[in-house]
Structure 1
Amino acid sequence: MAKKKEVYKVKPLTEGKKNIIAALLEEYDIETADDIQEALKDLLGGTIKSMMEAEMDEHLGYGNYERSDSDNYRNGTKSKKVRSNYGEFEISVPQDRNSTFEPQVVKKRQKDISEIDQKIISMYARGLTTRQISEQIEEIYGFECSEGFISDVTDKILQEIDDWQKRPLDEIYPIIFIDAVHFSVREDNQIRKLAAYVILGYTLDGMKDVIHLEIGENESSKYWLGVLNSLKNRGVKDIMVICADGLSGIKEAIQAAYPDTEYQRCIVHQIRNTLKYVSYKDMKAFAGDLKSIYLAPDEKQGYEALQIVTEKWNDKYPNAMKIWEKNWDVLTPIFKFSIDVRKVIYTTNAIESLNSTYKKLNRQRTVFPNDKALLKSLYLATLQATKKWTQSLRNWGKVYGEFSIMYGDRFPV
């Protein structure tokens, strides 16, 4: 089965493969795609039978037409129905006189042989390439599974991804985080960097939810407006706070799509962008001084702390604090909240943890063959990561209480 797909889709045709195709066309009178499916089903059944016969030879210790003094011998076959990805069909299971034969390719009580698809998808989710999966399948199961076949199997989740991307969302999200992770993708024989944009939201119950994931285009207000409008079309009526890094055009897009929503520049990214100008020996002291800004009791005292930190480090690092002054208007929404609630907004552990899962894919694959392969990997990695999200955010009651006061009628009590 795997080799059949390999012949049609991946590797160049050898003389042996050409002979196989010619024999198949003659044997099955193939004219349509449905004819190919029926041929594959028949071939799968025949392959399983041949493998079981080989297993029986090993079990008995002699071949089908060889003589033996053993009191155990072949005792015909027994018909068995199994389910596969090509539908349900019958296989002939060899029997022995002593009933001691235990087939491994299809076990005695096994009725479904399609689980190989799920194993392939599981390995794909962990970031393995199609070649690595092919090698693993051959090592574990003892048969060749082409890269083309594996790609076809994982393509089955594309409809699932499409449904997931269009699923209805909650009407209100108190906080959402937007971030990007970059990957290398091959396109037209060239390697280019593509951004994967992920939107993670906190629901009214304090549960984390990945509400959007896509391979992005060039950042612009037009692009982000399209993304935010897609959230509106999926049912999101209101968002209290959107926390993001300095994504091009995001501020203007938020004002257009959700004019009452506050844009909070990500404090974690702000700190990182500041410290990249700072030498290692000063980093700890500088980071400590930055805390005096975003942990200040209110905006006025935060701005005063900003001036003090700038004056202290300006001679040594004249460019480091410029982004704080420039972005001050989108760094200040957190000051209306208590320290505990601020931490929920500026501590991006949830999305950072998710991003670390995505970055593992980069370590597994230096280059993705296309953006479709990247999207499949990201989606499967998302499913793996979010399985652990079974509890609401710690101290969510305090967050909910402050938000319900700050945002009044917009926030349900």
Structure 2
Amino acid sequence: MSRRKPPVIADSLLDQLLDGADAKSAFDADGLLDQLKKALAERALNAEMDHHLVNGEPGNSRNGYGRKTVTTGTGKIELEIPRDLAGSFDPALIAKYQRRFPGFDDKIISMYARGMSVREIAGHVRELYGVDVSPDLISTVTDAVLEELAAWQARPLEAVYPLIFFDALRVKIRDEGTVRNKAVHIALGVRADGTKEVLGLWLEQNEGAKFWLRVMNELRNRGVEDVLLAVVDGLKGFPEAIVAVFPDALVQTCIVHLLRHSLDFVSYKDRKPVAAALKEIYKALDADAGAAALAAFEAGDWGRKYPAIVQSWRRAWPEVIPFYGFADDVRRIVYTTNSIEALNAKLRRAVRARGHFPNDDAATKLLFLVLNRAEKEWTMPPREWSMAKAKFAGERFTRAMA
């Protein structure tokens, strides 16, 4: 039987605070909790002032108090802010021009990261805390994320990534009065120890060789020296751009995306049997057996009914072949992973909740926040990766992943 942990605040002090008070009202606006926040904040501000005067310029002294109303997680409180004669005191707890208590901005950013719109956040804050916040304020708070995004996008990366998945999703963004579809591309790298990190995100309306080359050069300039295997979504010109910057990289088309693209040609009632027939291709023992399975599919009923499927596989075949060079444990990781599918699902859910974005920045800051939250939640299962790591083909893979 576990013993009760000693309280952080002594029971005798809590009894003294609650003496004669209604416990329920303690949580109301201007109740005991708000009074404690006010008292603790003012005590901390005065302690900061004492430290400032002791360590600051000679001759400086206190000069009364000013009043400031700040927004907290439960409402608004009025604080008495100490002043000094020199006017040089800028408290860390509540800076000179700050009107929101520490933690309030985090609540707004958390709601934004969950896909809530600016107006939804304003309504939610009003309902929960009885505080009116303007859409402009919410935009200002969330725009602060853009600086963090810029630093994250430029951070140094690992020298070698055994595996990088490149994926994309479509978002609707208002551009010069018209809502347009734009692609956001995401690179998910797997380090030698199996841990994953999102390397960056890039938003582009017109995809092409120049854009892909710019992305690859950006990764190289941030410290990436070698990519062993790149898994891509059959984007035209992408494999060539990868090899141009990382000439030793193997480029593998994403089998899941190839299957989904194939089923786009298929009527709903035929999808299940067609998917089962295509399984014979990517489950083949080697590239020759895979090519034979593709030819058999082409000659069969489904191939004759849906010839566009065979054409799409043949176009992608040079990037399908590397898949057959790996053991089953590696194929399972290259084929797809639950964590990547979960990441994509979170991003698409946030995008769907928005409908469309007013500008590029609004889209990228939301996606960055979703990625940031997701990245803290998952890692590739160590056992799954260690088994695959031992079976990666070739001396170069073994040496880089040692």
Q: Distance in 1 between matches of 2:347 and 2:206?
A: 20
Q: Residue in 2 aligned with 1:379?
A: 368
Q: Distance in 2 between matches of 1:403 and 1:231?
A: 23
Whether contact under 8 Å (1:79, 1:92) holds in the other structure is no
Q: Distance in 1 between matches of 2:206 and 2:184?
A: 11
Q: Distance in 2 between matches of 1:204 and 1:139?
A: 48
Q: Residue in 2 aligned with 1:341?
A: 330
Deviation for aligned residue 1:258: 0.7
Which of 403, 409, 413 is the matching residue for 2:392?
Answer: 403
SS in 1 for 2:355: coil
Deviation for aligned residue 1:379: 0.6
The alignment's C-alpha RMSD in Å is 2.9
Q: Distance in 2 between matches of 1:347 and 1:206?
A: 15
Whether contact under 8 Å (2:167, 2:232) holds in the other structure is yes
Q: 1:209 to 1:225 in 2, by over 3 A?
A: same
Q: Distance in 1 between matches of 2:65 and 2:310?
A: 73
Greater shift, 329-338 or 282-291, is seen at 282-291
Q: Residue in 2 aligned with 1:80?
A: 42
| Alignment-mate amino acid for residue 271 of structure 1 | L
SS in 2 for 1:243: strand
Deviation for aligned residue 1:381: 0.5
Q: Residue in 1 aligned with 2:315?
A: 326
Whether contact under 8 Å (1:78, 1:92) holds in the other structure is no
Whether contact under 8 Å (1:80, 1:91) holds in the other structure is no
Q: 1:132 to 1:292 in 2, by over 3 A?
A: same
Q: Distance in 2 between matches of 1:392 and 1:107?
A: 50
Greater shift, 313-322 or 239-248, is seen at 313-322
SS in 1 for 2:296: helix
% of aligned pairs identical? Answer: 39
1:177-218 deviation per Cα after TM superposition (whole angstroms, max 9, x unaligned): 111111111122211111111100111011121111122241
Q: Distance in 2 between matches of 1:382 and 1:78?
A: 35
Q: 1:134 to 1:284 in 2, by over 3 A?
A: same
Deviation for aligned residue 1:299: 0.9
Q: Distance in 2 between matches of 1:340 and 1:268?
A: 16
Deviation for aligned residue 1:319: 2.1
Q: 1:268 to 1:90 in 2, by over 3 A?
A: farther
Whether contact under 8 Å (1:271, 1:287) holds in the other structure is yes
Q: Distance in 1 between matches of 2:40 and 2:184?
A: 52
Whether contact under 8 Å (2:114, 2:350) holds in the other structure is yes
Matches within 5 A, 1:14-33: none
Which of 249, 256, 269 is the matching residue for 2:257?
Answer: 269
Q: Distance in 1 between matches of 2:365 and 2:211?
A: 22
Whether contact under 8 Å (1:268, 1:348) holds in the other structure is no
| Alignment-mate amino acid for residue 210 of structure 2 | K
| Alignment-mate amino acid for residue 305 of structure 1 | A
Whether contact under 8 Å (2:146, 2:365) holds in the other structure is yes
Deviation for aligned residue 1:246: 1.7
1:332-376 deviation per Cα after TM superposition (whole angstroms, max 9, x unaligned): 101111122111101143332211111112221111111111111
1:132-177 deviation per Cα after TM superposition (whole angstroms, max 9, x unaligned): 1111111122121000011011111111111100111111111111
Whether contact under 8 Å (1:368, 1:374) holds in the other structure is yes
Matches within 5 A, 1:2-401: 80=42, 105-106=76-77, 113-312=101-300, 313-390=302-379, 392-401=381-390
Q: Distance in 2 between matches of 1:294 and 1:127?
A: 36
Whether contact under 8 Å (1:180, 1:195) holds in the other structure is yes
Whether contact under 8 Å (2:339, 2:380) holds in the other structure is no
Deviation for aligned residue 1:280: 2.7
Q: 1:273 to 1:215 in 2, by over 3 A?
A: same
| Alignment-mate amino acid for residue 264 of structure 2 | K
Q: Residue in 2 aligned with 1:27?
A: none
Deviation for aligned residue 1:91: 6.7
Whether contact under 8 Å (1:217, 1:223) holds in the other structure is no
Q: Distance in 2 between matches of 1:187 and 1:274?
A: 32
| Alignment-mate amino acid for residue 126 of structure 1 | R
Q: Distance in 2 between matches of 1:325 and 1:55?
A: 67
Whether contact under 8 Å (1:296, 1:302) holds in the other structure is yes
Q: Distance in 1 between matches of 2:293 and 2:144?
A: 55
Whether contact under 8 Å (1:82, 1:91) holds in the other structure is no
Q: Distance in 2 between matches of 1:79 and 1:226?
A: 49
Deviation for aligned residue 1:320: 2.1
Q: 1:214 to 1:408 in 2, by over 3 A?
A: closer
Q: 1:259 to 1:107 in 2, by over 3 A?
A: same
Greater shift, 194-203 or 360-369, is seen at 360-369
SS in 1 for 2:122: helix
Q: List alignment gaps of at least 5 residues for structure 2.
A: 1-27, 33-38, 53-63, 69-73, 80-92, 95-100
SS in 1 for 2:131: coil
Q: Distance in 2 between matches of 1:175 and 1:267?
A: 15
Greater shift, 348-357 or 260-269, is seen at 348-357
Greater shift, 168-177 or 346-355, is seen at 346-355
Q: 1:297 to 1:107 in 2, by over 3 A?
A: farther
Whether contact under 8 Å (1:205, 1:392) holds in the other structure is no
Whether contact under 8 Å (1:243, 1:265) holds in the other structure is yes
SS in 1 for 2:307: coil
Deviation for aligned residue 1:383: 1.2
Whether contact under 8 Å (2:189, 2:198) holds in the other structure is yes
Whether contact under 8 Å (1:79, 1:91) holds in the other structure is no
Q: List alignment gaps of at least 5 residues for structure 1.
A: 1-53, 60-76, 94-102
